[in-house]
Amino acid sequence: MNEKMEDGVYIVQEGEITKLEPKTHGQDVIYWKNEQVLDVERTQRIRIKRTK
């Protein structure tokens, strides 16, 4: 790979690349089955700021 890659998560399966775009806040969980990615679960966190 000589091209510049952008920030994110890249999943390669059978030569095909799937890019997951970065999020501001949150979590990604990757589920595997038979040595391949089956699903990706994305959650989002929202920070509540309180002022005094």
pLDDT in tens, 8-21: 999 999 999 999 99
Cα–Cα distance for residue pair 20/26, rounded to 1 Å:
13
pLDDT of residue 1: 56
Domain ranges of the chain: 21-46
Please say whether the beta carbons of 10 and 18 come within 8 A.
Answer: yes
Q: Which residue has the higher pLDDT, 40 or 46?
A: 40
What does the pLDDT read at residue 37?
Answer: 96
How large a percentage of the chain has pLDDT more than 70? 96
Rounded to whole angstroms, how far apart are CA atoms 17 and 23? 19
